[in-house]
Amino acid sequence: MSHVPHELSEEFPDQQDRIRALAAADPHFAAMTEEYARLNMRVFQADSYEKPMDELAEHELKKRRLYLKDEINRRLAHS
């Protein structure tokens, strides 16, 4: 598969150990990172026309992905 932009490893390159530790210790955090990864892949598929979708639906996925990224960032800052 080609490179998928906006992966958590790129968004938080210096936080990978903390992300893994938090995901192992906190099921809710783990669920957020898993949902982020699923949404990110789906957005990539839509953007690359691999699996196109309605523009509004894609916009909603991007909004949810951004919300999750902000929540992950908030949790990292407070851990």
Query: What would the two tokens of residue 54 be?
Result: 């309605």
* Tens-place pLDDT, residues 11-28: 999 999 999 999 999 999
- Torsion over CA: 3, 42, 66, 63 (sign): positive
Q: Is the pLDDT of residue 2 over 90?
A: no
Q: Where are the alpha helices (DSSP H) in the chain?
A: 8-11, 16-25, 27-47, 55-77
* Tens-place pLDDT, residues 39-60: 999 999 999 888 989 999 999 9
pTM assigned to the model: 0.90
Q: Is the pLDDT of residue 1 over 70?
A: no
Query: What would the two tokens of residue 47 be?
Result: 């953007």
Q: DSSP label at 50?
A: S
Residue 3's pLDDT is 65
Query: What would the two tokens of residue 25 be?
Result: 């210790």
Residue 73's pLDDT is 97
Helix (H, G, I), strand (E, B) or coil at 28: helix
